[in-house]
Structure 1
Amino acid sequence: MRSFSLLALCSFSPLLIAADMPGSQDLPIVPRMVDAQIVDYRPAVEIERIYPLGSIRKISGQLRFDGQVSARGNATSVTYELPPEHSSTEAFTAAREALQQQDAQLLFWCQARDCGESSLWANEVFGNAKLYGADNEQAYLLLRLAAPKENTLVALYSITRGNRKAYLHVEQFEAAAPLGDLLPTSATLLRELKSTGELDFPQLTNAPDDTWLRLISRGLNLDTTLRVSVSGPSAEAWRQALIVQGVRAARLETGSVEGSGLHIQLLR
């Protein structure tokens, strides 16, 4: 089971509500931090939306990133200013854990300078100047909700500005058409493994799938110091396949975690 940060989550008081932007409201899928205030709210509007799946940069006036999810649908967003006693990292982590408790799938996760320039995220991606801050004080995460809401994406972006004010931006996007297959990046799998201690793939119940095998092996080989256990109905087949893909055998053990699909656990 993933840990769930209940501390610093939702609290609703008359004082807190009075401080919110008029007409604003929380998104039900992400509880707010105690004493956080809504400083920007954009109700559902139908748009063509592009979410980056890589570090962003600008070349010859054009925004560039390695991958993307693009679709038309309804986007709703809320931006919180956090109280001084809580950091943007705390708020980002609590929101991520709340979504993972709902079995949301991580598609892309970056932190600090790995995300690119904060000014581009603030102005070009989210169109919200409040989100511009120090490049090393940012984090971005794109998730896909579990069925039956698999055509809904959630984007999280946290930032601490130069004046030390911290913000969490939450955007929910409901696609008008099925999103189809969406795969995480290998670097995102590694970041999730190192942050949560495990990776769950309930859909991978059979023999190793070539696409997922490449993603997982690349992720594990981004940090060759890590050792993991591999559990599930086809655990030994996956372990052998990962070895063939270049993951050293000494880094892989067959585990005993019960579940319907592949489970990878970090060995401390």
Structure 2
Amino acid sequence: MQSSFFPQHCVTSDSPQFTSSFAKFSASLGLLLLALLSTPAHAQSAGEQTAGADHPLLMRFPDSEIVEYDRTNELNHQLVLGTLQRTRGEVVPESAERLKGRVTRIVYAIPSDYQVSDVREFFAQQLRERGDSILFSCEGRACGSSNYWANDIFKRRILYGPERNQYYLAARSNTALENDPFLALYLITRANKRLYAYVEIIESEIAVVPQALVNEGLLAATLREKGSVVLPWVQFNTADGGEEELDDPSALDYLVRLLR
């Protein structure tokens, strides 16, 4: 998978300098480098379950924690664009978009001293600053049953709560990509007063978020706090000898800069 999002190549894959630099870099950083890099594309096709990290498109709410995370490639993902209702025993939205691509799902636990409105405004500000297009939003009972959202749509029981405490938004990001990613946000305060934010990012196979859109300061801060970050644009390919090679050698320059 080739990428055109890197500004310069200080070391090229066909030069002796690249071979030497990469060997020294790998030896010195060891396990830390492995934590920084996303898994190979062939592994992602079967689905990915990890400790998780923020997606580059959305910063997490302050002091929130990731409690669930997964990333999979899907051929027929449903993005809900309308109120949910049960018809002939099946939960269906009034409107929906069927999408193909990589789906990242993150559930955040929000500190108890915040309200749904606080979290909603935090994420909404990010969308406004980027110029994202809001496709659908609803609040409270207008969204339908929270049970439908939690168990039928998102398949996560942790998101079930009173209807009056929920909020949902679907949008399309305004990025430099040929096919802009879609995203969904669901907020719920459960009966036990615990507040959760569910984030879903859908990227087509040719629309992986580029390095240029990533906040390096946020990545560095996350690395210091959590010990690892996911870099979606970094991919490995298997060489003829069975060794893993960077799909784009310029990613090495970015990693060195991030770790300084």
> Considering the TM-score relative to the shorter chain, is it more than 0.5?
yes
Q: What 5-or-longer segments of structure 1 have no aligned partner?
A: 1-20, 179-268
Hey, which bits of structure 1, 4+ residues long, moved more than 3 A?
Answer: none
Q: Distance in 1 between matches of 2:83 and 2:206?
A: 26
Query: 1:154 aligned to 2:183?
Result: yes
5+ long unaligned stretches in structure 2 = 1-48, 208-260
C-alpha distance after superposition, 1:31-83 (max 9, x if no partner): 11221111110124334111121110112212232211112111001110100
Does residue 142 of structure 2 align to residue 121 of structure 1? no
SS at match of 2:124: helix
Aligned runs of 1:206-245 on 2, under 5 Å?
Answer: none
Q: What per-residue deviation string (whole Å, max 9, x for no partner) do you get for residues 106-126 of structure 1?
A: 000100011001111111111
Out of 182, 195, 200, the residue aligned to residue 166 of structure 1 is: 195
Aligned partner of 1:170: which letter?
Answer: V
Equivalent pairs, count: 158
Code of the aligned partner of 2:61: M
Match for residue 134 of structure 1?
A: 162
CA distance in 1, matches of 2:89, 2:184: 24
Number of the residue aligned with 2:103: 75
Name the aligned partner's letter for residue 74 of structure 1.
R
Matches within 5 A, 1:52-67: 52-67=80-95
User: Contact 1:45–1:74 at 8 Å: present in 2 too?
Assistant: yes
Note if contact 2:71-2:102 (Cα within 8 Å) is conserved in structure 1. Answer: no
Highest RCO, 1 vs 2 (Cα 8 Å, sep ≥ 6): 2
Pairing of 1:34-45 with structure 2 (within 5 A) = 34-45=62-73
The answer (yes or no) to whether the contact 1:82–1:168 under 8 Å persists in 2 is: yes
Query: 1:100 maps to what in 2?
Result: 128
1:40 maps to a residue whose letter is: E
TM-score, length-normalised on structure 2?
Answer: 0.57
Is the 1:151–1:177 Cα contact (8 Å) retained in structure 2? no
RMSD: 1.9
Q: Distance in 2 between matches of 1:126 and 1:109?
A: 16
Deviations 1:148-184 (A, max 9, x none): 2343101000000000000001110013489xxxxxx
Deviation, 1:86, is: 1.2
Q: Which amino acid aligns with 2:202?
A: F
1-structure distance, mates of 2:153, 2:204:
17
Contact 1:107 1:142 in 2 (8 A): yes
3-state DSSP class of the match of 1:143? strand
